[in-house]
Amino acid sequence: MDDRALQFEYGALPENIARLIAGRRCEKDGVGRSGAEIFYLDDYVLKAVKYRIENEDAVRVMRWLEGRLPVPEVICFERRGDIQYLLMSRVPGRMTCDTYYTERPEKLTALLAEALNMLWSVDTAGCPRVMDADALLAEAGYRVENRLVDTDGAEASTFGKGGFAGPEALLKWLEDNRPDFEPVFSHGDLCLPNILAQEDRVSGFVDLGGAGIGDRWRDAALCRRSLRHNLDGTYGGTVRPDFDADELFVELGIRPDRDKLRWYTLLDELF
């Protein structure tokens, strides 16, 4: 590998990681997102991210998922200061937010239903982490208290006129309206960029930092919202004004639980 190609904002690499990627061709991901740095190294991917939460739990879940779901194999996980480095195998395929899929909404919806069914089919016995309402509200509480919530990125209707006065009011409402728990295996951030597909089948899931045993409607809510926004022009690209994201539930053959979808969509506004 050419060292100059691997310019980390976060500083020099931990030795273990540097040794494991030596000699590999390096390509930085051009898609700018939540502060994570992503490098493609042939059939490996390196993710470097600054986290408050220790991500050992998430890595344990990724390891537990091997053989149960198509997820990256963990090659090495290292922490240096408050930066965490995850070296993993590369999942083949392209993101389901790719225009190939957004221009084919029916195919896309079928893929997302396939993704949800794959998650919901995992036998959760022995899963090392639980991400239930208590765990999520505790994390949301920390974020609200420490003013880490970005209200600018929220849906227009969430805060202000006709909505909640602010993150504290939303947190209180969420605590007072906790839904009952329907445990399944939950990805935790089931948006289109985190679901990869190849030859019109789901090829894998990435970005598993919030994964664990969780409520069925948590992934359904975030997946539905992501499907909607990837087709309504929120991110530019394909715009299908007539597309109804509830097609996802038609494809799944289930009746949407509106209250739970709303609760989990609102909870995500605090993350």
Residues acting as catalytic residues = 189
Return phi, psi of residue 57, to 5°.
-60, -45
102 binds Mg ion (CB under 5 A): no
Residue 18 or 95 having the CB closest to Mg ion: 95
Q: Which of 91, 116, 222, 223 touches ligand ATP (CB under 6 A)?
A: 91
Q: How far apart are CA 242 and CA 120, in angstroms?
A: 29
Region near Mg ion per CB under 5 A, out of 37-45, 150-158, 185-193, 260-268:
185-193
Among ligand ATP, Mg ion, none, partner that 72 touches (CB below 5 to 8 angstroms by kind): ligand ATP
Q: Which of 55, 102, 194, 230 touches Mg ion (CB under 5 A)?
A: 194
Q: Provide the token pair at 45.
A: 């991917």
In angstroms, give the least distance from the CB of 45 to Mg ion: 12
Region near ligand ATP per CB under 6 A, out of 31-39, 134-142, 150-158, 239-247:
31-39
User: Can you list the pairs that 38-42 forms with residues at least 24 positions away whose Cβ atoms lie under 8 Å?
Assistant: 39/6, 40/90, 41/1, 42/90
Q: Which of 141, 179, 183, 193 touches ligand ATP (CB under 6 A)?
A: 193
Residue 194 or 249 having the CB closest to ligand ATP: 194
Sign of CA dihedral 64, 201, 34, 245: negative
Q: Which of 36, 76, 122, 137 touches ligand ATP (CB under 6 A)?
A: 36
DSSP states of 138-179: HHHHHHHHTT---GGGS-TTTBSTTSBSSHHHHHHHHHHTPP
72 binds ligand ATP (CB under 6 A): yes
How many other β-carbons are positioned within 10 Å of the β-carbon of residue 171?
A: 22
Return phi, psi of residue 189, to 5°.
-145, 65
Q: Provide the token pair at 32.
A: 């700018």
252 binds ligand ATP (CB under 6 A): no
The footprint of ligand ATP on residues 208-237 (CB under 6 A) is: 209
In angstroms, give the least distance from the CB of 73 to ligand ATP: 9
